[in-house]
């Protein structure tokens, strides 16, 4: 597989991952309860807005370099690096934050792989997108870890 095709496949997996993450963050936003409701309700909304921005950016970049982004919920579920989890019982606030951190760790690893693949494909634009976004996610992780103490 050529470097560009590998990069396209990886970008598409990131599209799928963002489709699932967008929904998971909404789930936390809707179902959070407890003494830190206002803080976390707002934070989860901020995070899903950021995820949505990159979700669109990755799909459009994929189109720009000749790929075709996944666009169905089933494709997102089948190709995402993170898994959805049905909300069937109340989840503690700290567990919601830990869940986001787990997903963000997976995303950071995916972005590191993307940086490598974009470099191999000599695609400086995509590489730069990945580097900047990885920086954002790592900062969010630091803040969430600080929240947990």
Q: Could you list the residue range(s) of the whole structural domain that residue 9 is in? A: 3-148
Residue 130 parent element (H or E): helix 124-148
CATH number at residue 100: 1.20.1260.10
The DSSP string of the chain is: --HHHHHHHHHHHHHHHHHHHHHHHHHHHHH--STTHHHHHHHHHHHHHHHHHHHHHHHHHHHHTT-----SHHHHHHH-SS------S---HHHHHHHHHHHHHHHHHHHHHHHHHHHHTT-HHHHHHHHHHHHHHHHHHHHHHHHH-
pLDDT in tens for each of the 149 residues of the chain?
Answer: 798 999 999 999 999 999 999 999 999 999 999 999 999 999 999 999 999 999 999 999 999 999 999 999 999 999 999 999 888 899 999 999 999 999 999 999 999 999 999 999 999 999 999 999 999 999 999 999 999 99
**Residue listed under structure tokens 């567990």:** 95
**Domains: count for the chain:** 1
State the pTM of this model.
0.95
């Amino acid at each position: 597989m050529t470097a560009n095709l590998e990069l396209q496949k990886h970008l598409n997996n990131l599209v799928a991952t963002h489709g699932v993450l967008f929904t998971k963050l909404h789930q936390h936003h809707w179902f959070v309860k407890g003494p830190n409701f206002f803080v976390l309700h707002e934070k989860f909304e901020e995070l899903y807005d950021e995820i949505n921005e990159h979700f669109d950016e990755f799909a459009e970049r994929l189109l720009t370099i000749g790929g075709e982004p996944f666009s169905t919920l089933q494709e997102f579920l089948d190709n995402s690096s993170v898994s959805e989890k049905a909300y069937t019982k109340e989840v503690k606030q700290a567990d919601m934050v830990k869940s986001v951190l787990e997903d963000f760790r997976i995303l950071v690893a995916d972005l590191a792989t993307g940086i490598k693949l974009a470099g191999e494909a000599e695609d400086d634009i995509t590489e730069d997108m990945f580097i900047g976004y990885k920086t954002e996610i790592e900062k969010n992780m630091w803040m969430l870890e600080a929240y947990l103490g």
